[in-house]
Amino acid sequence: MNMKTRGLVSAMLAVSCMLFGLSGCSWFSHEVVSGTVGQALVSSTATVKALDMESREVTLQRGDGSTFTFHAGEQVRNLAQVHVGDTVTVTYYQSIAYDVRKPGEGAPGVAAAEELARAKPGEKPAGAVGQVLTITATITAIDMTANTVTLKGPDGDVVTVQARDPKKLKKVSVGDLVNITYTEALAIAVETPKK
């Protein structure tokens, strides 16, 4: 595992554990429990105000009237299909989900996947990229007096979190596995406004 991935896994483990511990989620149970801890969807549109095909500079105008210019690199396929007045929509999605498993229903580790999609030649520029990172941590200690749970990540990183609802600590066991999945996706599309 490279240093960047290791750092992201450690950060995800810490943030996710804080979310689990502070929210008092119902993941502390003997059934397989899953859900989404947090998610965000942000979408924004802008209008193409100027386009220089030679330099590949594109100027967009936001809804508030402000403008910004960027260089559309060679990876932007079909730039010739873009025209002044077209609408550019950018959508960003992020979530953290979890599920708890009993020993034997998985193993500590890290799994990553990434997908990329682009418009076909001749279409308006569009693209989407998504990545999913799942870490599986193990519950290594439960302190009923302090109302805490300690999780050990796949690289040995250990995080202890305070449980909001101490009664739920009675429903978990040392050795249970927690799958924490971080999903991030970005989509960009250019459309000709409908008349």
Q: Is the pLDDT of residue 6 over 60?
A: no
Q: Is the pLDDT of residue 3 over 60?
A: no
Q: What is the 3-state secondary structure (H, E, C) of 1-47?
A: CCHHHHHHHHHHHHHHHHHHHHHCCCCCCCCCCEEEEEEEEEEEEEE
Structural domain tally of the chain? 1
Output the pTM of the full model.
0.66
pLDDT in tens, 8-33: 444 444 444 433 443 333 333 345 44
**CA-CA-CA-CA torsion for 57, 58, 62, 68, nearest 10 degrees?**
0
Alpha-carbon span 193 to 88, nearest angstrom: 10
pLDDT in tens, 77-108: 899 999 999 999 999 999 988 777 889 888 99
Alpha-carbon span 134 to 128, nearest angstrom: 20
Alpha-carbon span 97 to 183, nearest angstrom: 8
Q: How far apart are the first and last CA of the chain?
A: 52
How does DSSP assign 168-192, residue by residue? GGGG--TT-EEEEEEEEEEEEEEEP
User: Which residue range forms the structural domain that includes residue 153?
Assistant: 3-191
3-state secondary structure of 79: helix
Please report which residue ranges of 106-183 form alpha helices under DSSP H. Answer: none
